[in-house]
Structure 1
Amino acid sequence: MRIHMLKREQHLNITLDQAWEFFSSAKNLQAITPKYMNFTITNDPGKTIYTGQLITYKVRPLLSIPLTWVTEITQVENQSYFIDEQRFGPFKLWHHQHHFSETEDGVNMIDIIHYSLPFSFLGGMAHRLMVKKRLEEIFDYRYKTLEKEFNEKID
């Protein structure tokens, strides 16, 4: 099984409290996910993040094919980090770390995603041909959306 990694870092001009409130709420995932994915949360995960929390989604990541995705919040350290792992979905492995650290002028946020695809050789081909690019597009979209939401000054 080949394990891939995607890492993204971004500085946000908000407080640690604001960052934690925004990112630890599943309801905000749709706002930072590209519209073409038709991302919809299909359960009520509640307002507060906690270890063991399950979040279920419908998503269309490739070729508009609808997929059910279930993730579990496996670790939470309040205002520091949380980790979600796929329990059911398109990946053989999905382990997503969300880290937050306060800076003098805001918050530094780091996403580290370890993932693997099913189907061995075919999964490897799919990764090279489209999955890697699609994940990069999704996190590029997230970066741009967060820049507009938290870092662009309104005069």
Structure 2
Amino acid sequence: MGFYQFKRTQEIKTSVDEIWKFISDPSNLKLITPDYMGFDITSEDIPSQMYEGMIISYKVSPLLGIKTTWVTEITHLKKNSYFVDEQRVGPYRIWHHQHIVKPITNGTLMTDIVSYQPPLGFLGSIANELIIKGKLQEIFEYRTNALEEIF
């Protein structure tokens, strides 16, 4: 049963305030997620800014167009610095995603650290090597490009 970590950094030519305002609004996640994932927030009356303890439910199609429910909780948040979302219901055994922003010369350094464990023990480890790891790289590459276009 493998445990994995994926890390991505990106320099964005905007202020920490601007990028924070964007990434801490749950409705913007759809703008930086590939269309083929069929990403939709299913929570009702979602506020425009995250807060610790916030529960957000989604429908996503990560593989073969099969819709699945994904529920995350915002477990840690420090405005203009970081937030953490953790899966409560979904396809992974463990999903812990840190979103970190820091001011740098000419903009913001954004770092994503995803620590995860696929389901199904040994079979999940095989799936990670064959599918999951590449899919995460693809999704975050899309996100990088989308953020470059937006900012």
Report TM bin, short chain.
over 0.9
CA RMSD, 1 decimal: 0.8
- Following the alignment from structure 2 to structure 1, what is the Cα–Cα distance between the partners of residues 112 and 4? 14
Structure 2 counterpart of 1:32, one-letter code: I
**Alpha-carbon shift at residue 104 of structure 1 (Å):** 2.2
- TM-score of the two chains, using structure 2 as the length reference: 0.97
* TM-score, normalised by the number of residues in structure 1: 0.94
| Structure 1 outlier segments of 4+, above 4 Å | none
Gaps of 5+ in 2: none
1:117 alignment partner AA? P
- Provide the rounded CA distance (Å) in 2 between the counterparts of 1:63 and 1:132: 16
Q: Distance in 1 between matches of 2:145 and 2:133?
A: 18
For 2:90, give the aligned amino acid. Answer: G
CA distance, structure 1, for counterparts of residue 109 and residue 102 of structure 2:
5
**8 Å CA contact retained: 1:45, 1:53:** no
Structure 1, unmatched stretches of 5+, are 151-155
Displacement, 1:45?
Answer: 2.6
Q: Distance in 2 between matches of 1:72 and 1:107?
A: 25
CA separation in 2, counterparts of 1:130 and 1:16?
Answer: 33
Secondary structure of the residue that 1:75 maps to in structure 2?
Answer: strand
Task: Give a deviation string over 1:68-111, Cα, whole Å, max 9, x none.
Answer: 00000000011000000000000000000000001121111000
Identical-pair percentage: 47
- 1:1-155 matches, within 5 Å, as 1-43=1-43, 44-150=45-151
Contact 2:16 2:101 in 1 (8 A): yes
Cα distance in structure 1, aligned partners of 2:112 and 2:46: 21
Alpha-carbon contact 2:86-2:96 (below 8 Å) kept: yes
* Distance apart, 1:129 and its partner CA: 1.1
